[in-house]
Amino acid sequence: MPAPGLDGPSQRNAGSAAGARMARLVAHLPDAAAVEQVFGDGEALSIGRAAGNGFCLPHPSVSRTHATLEPGADGWRLHDLGSRNGSFVDGVAPGEGRVVPRSAWLRFGDVHCEFTELDPAQAQANRARTQARRAAATAHTARIDGVRGLDELLDASLHGVLDLAQCERGFVLLRDGDGFAVRNSISLDPAQLRARDFSGSVGAVRRALDERRSVIANDIGGDAWLSARASVVAGGLSALVCLPLFDGERALGAIYADRTRAAAPITRLDQELLEAFAERAALWIVARRASELLGARDDAAPDWGAILAVHQDARP
């Protein structure tokens, strides 16, 4: 794994005094957004599967009360609390109360976490980045609020998701009669979707629509449902997101985005911002379709049923 970085925080104890010892944990969960937290040295941080922990890791390999990180004059010390699957620092069981390096990979059961100790300037930079991400979501929402035409709205919605998720390409799937059609795409030829070697994940769209929830993956090779698809792995994807769009209980479509370049993981904060943005986009899509009385089908729009037929033997 790459060395832990400093991108994309969420805040805890943000009001700690300047100079206080602070650190950040980013947990990379399979088939889910990353869990991210910045914490201060007022008290030990409890880590485990139970909801009452300061850092909750909802994964079956993690014990209910798994470990603690305790601050000290010489740094943060990791204590395993007799967990079933152990705690590790850079792949090695640390022994009782080992001081964690300023930058390290921790593992609790099967969950890998980036640990980074932060100085006051880095902690402030993290807070500023979080504020900037929220501001970007607000700006993208304001942009789609001002769009009049459906095609322009779909384009602005897709650009918003690509920016907020730090992705490079994607498409918008929209209900068309009894099925769905690809109505907008960026850095992706819609014809590619019909090819069996399409490097994106048709399965992510299928899951988002079937399970009526957003689908996020930060570890393509580690997610069994994605790693089983040779073209996805060969395509070198590093992350993907698919956001379903709804008109009440009726599925309206979905916005899919992915990337190959290395970037900060898609976190729960990102998920919160993306889902709120997608919900707003869906409201406007319904309104714009009604106002334009779209009755004629665009024959050039790739039919989703035809795309699924191509990929039906290649799960997911």
Give the tokens for residue 186: 């960026």
135 pLDDT higher than 70:
yes
From-to residues of CATH 3.30.450.40 in the chain: 130-311
- Residues with Cβ < 8 Å from 78, sequence gap 6 or more? 67, 68, 69, 87, 89, 94, 97, 98, 100, 106
Q: Provide the pairing of β-strand 169-176 with 179-186.
A: antiparallel
Higher pLDDT, 189 or 72: 72
CATH topology of domain 130-311: Beta-Lactamase (3.30.450)
The reply to whether CATH 1.10.1670.10 applies to domain 22-118 is: no
pLDDT for the residue 293: 56
Among 232, 187, 179, 237, residue whose Cα is nearest residue 209: 179
- The pLDDT, as a whole number, for residue 13 is 40
Give the pLDDT confidence score for residue 235 in this predicted structure: 56
CA dist 131 and 96 (Å) reads: 38
Average pLDDT of every residue of the chain:
85
* pLDDT for residue 202: 82
Read off the pTM: 0.80
Res 313 pLDDT > 70: no
pLDDT tens digits, one per residue of 237-276: 889 999 999 999 999 999 999 998 888 999 999 999 999 9
The strand pair at 87-89 and 75-80 is best described as unpaired
> In the chain, which segments carry CATH 2.60.200.20?
22-118
* Helix 120-145 vs helix 268-292: crossing angle, to nearest 10: 10
Residue with tokens 């106002």: 291
Query: Which residues, other chains included, contact 147 with Cβ-Cβ below 8 Å and sequence gap of 6+?
Result: 153, 156, 284, 288
Nearest to 147 by CA among 285, 253, 278, 296: 285
d(CA 243, CA 140): 16
